[in-house]
Structure 1
Amino acid sequence: MGADHAYQRLANRLISELTGGLWRNGDPLPSENALATAYAVSRRTVRQALELLQREGFVSKGQGRSTVYRERAIGRSSEKLVDFPTAAREAGFRPSTRLLSTARRQACLSAAHALNLPLGSEVFEIRRVRLLEGRPVVHQTSLLPAALAGRLDVAKLADTSLYTMLRTALAGEIFLAREHVSLLTASAEEAEALSIPQASPLLRVQRVVVDKDGTPVEYSNSALQDSFFRF
């Protein structure tokens, strides 16, 4: 990477430190001179990096033209089950989805237990990467009962929320029945999908979503870059 990309490298480093630390919304950043000295770059590089962070919404100009941190993170709703695109837009991000694959499979032990199905039952697997501002941040695998998946237009999953499809197919609301959050290191597949080094730290979020009668309709297993989420 040439010298003209030094500001991008600095921007990535600043994003990592800002989102991974104990910064609060409105906290001021050090001056451009202080940042240039600390990171051994020119003030022009610092200014370009800060302009990039401002365009992406991580910082803004505060009183006296100082640069301040703007928290942007997706949190959990304690009320209605919110899909990823809606939660992302509410946090000020531009979301998108990359559909990796869809396939019919036999339910393994975990999937059969989560979906309350006999072991070996046919399930429908959906693998996606979720992006914020074009940056891959979630590698997600969703498993649905095969009969229910047959009622969905899965070809539109890159542009339409799965939760929206489920509500339409079920003619009713869906609910979060169980959720488990844990730490993990990125597998080779997850690292490639998220453009990060293998064994990078990630959050694992496993969910079971049910219909109004309490019947499981989705079991999801997601690997998240935690700097973009608050749990």
Structure 2
Amino acid sequence: MGADHAYQRLASRLIRELTGGLWRNGDPLPSEHALASAYAVSRRTVRQALELLQREGFVSKGQGRSTVYRERAIGRSGEKLVDFPTAAREAGFRPSTRLISTGHVEAGLSIAHALCVPLGSEVFEIRRVRLLEGRPVVHQTSLLPARLAGKLDVATLADTSLYTMLRAALGGEIFLAREHVSLLSASEEEAAALSIPKASPLLRVQRVVVDGEGRAVEYSNSALQDSFFRF
């Protein structure tokens, strides 16, 4: 990457620092002069980097000429099960979804365990990329019991929440039964879907969703770019 992209490199470094969990909404950043000195770049590079961060919603102008951190991250919903579009809009983002594929697959060990179905039985798979402000940030695979596949309007999955579809299909509420968060390196497929280098660090979030009788209705396996999420 040439010198003309120095501000993009600096912006990436600043995003990693600002989204590391210690910064709170409204915390002031150091001055342009201090940032330029600390990162050994010109003030023009700092200014360009801060403009990029402001366009992406990570910072805003505070009182006077100061730049402050603007927390925009999707957090855990606790006991309440909130779909991605709703959580994204509540955090101030413009969400969208790109549907990759749908179809029936055989349940492997983890899928069979999560959905409480026999190993090798047929389940319905939905693969999507979730975007914020047009930027791909989540590669998501959802697996459902085969019996539910015919009750879903899969053609509208790019525009309609899967949770909304499940509630309608089941005629009742659904609940988060289990959630596991871990670290992973992006696979070739995940890297391509998220437009990042292979083996980039990501968060893996695995969820099991159940109906009112405690029966598993969805197992999701999501790879997330952590700068947009809080866990």
CA distance in 1, matches of 2:8, 2:206: 33
State the TM-score, normalizing by the size of structure 1: 0.92
Partner of 2:123, secondary structure, is strand
Partner of 2:64, secondary structure, is helix
The offset of 1:141, in angstroms, is 0.6
CA distance in 1, matches of 2:7, 2:129: 27
Alignment of 1:38-117 (within 5 A): 38-117=38-117
Alignment of 1:117-136 (within 5 A): 117-136=117-136
The offset of 1:219, in angstroms, is 0.5
Partner amino acid for 1:220? S
CA distance in 1, matches of 2:181, 2:2: 40
Partner of 2:19, secondary structure, is helix
Partner of 1:172, secondary structure, is coil
Mapped pair 1:149 → 2:146: no
The offset of 1:105, in angstroms, is 0.7
Higher mean Cα deviation, 90-99 or 35-44?
35-44
Cα deviation 1:9-59 (Å, max 9, x = unaligned): 432332222113522222211111222333344323322322222222211
Mapped pair 1:193 → 2:193: yes
CA distance in 2, matches of 1:10, 1:159: 35
In 1, are the aligned partners of 2:79 and 2:176 still within 8 Å (CA)?
A: no
Partner amino acid for 1:111? I
- Who is 1:11 aligned against? 11
- Who is 2:173 aligned against? 173
Partner amino acid for 1:100? I
The offset of 1:132, in angstroms, is 1.4
- Who is 2:23 aligned against? 23
The offset of 1:5, in angstroms, is 4.4
Structure 1 spans left out of the alignment, 5+ residues: none
- Who is 2:226 aligned against? 226
The offset of 1:177, in angstroms, is 0.9
Partner of 1:207, secondary structure, is strand
CA distance in 2, matches of 1:62, 1:227: 22
Partner amino acid for 2:208? V
Higher mean Cα deviation, 202-211 or 28-37?
28-37
In 1, are the aligned partners of 2:85 and 2:95 still within 8 Å (CA)?
A: yes
Partner of 1:20, secondary structure, is coil
Partner amino acid for 1:59? V
CA distance in 2, matches of 1:9, 1:141: 31
Percent identity between the aligned chains? Answer: 88
CA distance in 2, matches of 1:169, 1:107: 22
The count of residues paired between Structure 1 and Structure 2 equals 231
State the TM-score, normalizing by the size of structure 2: 0.92
- Who is 1:202 aligned against? 202
Structure 2 spans left out of the alignment, 5+ residues: none
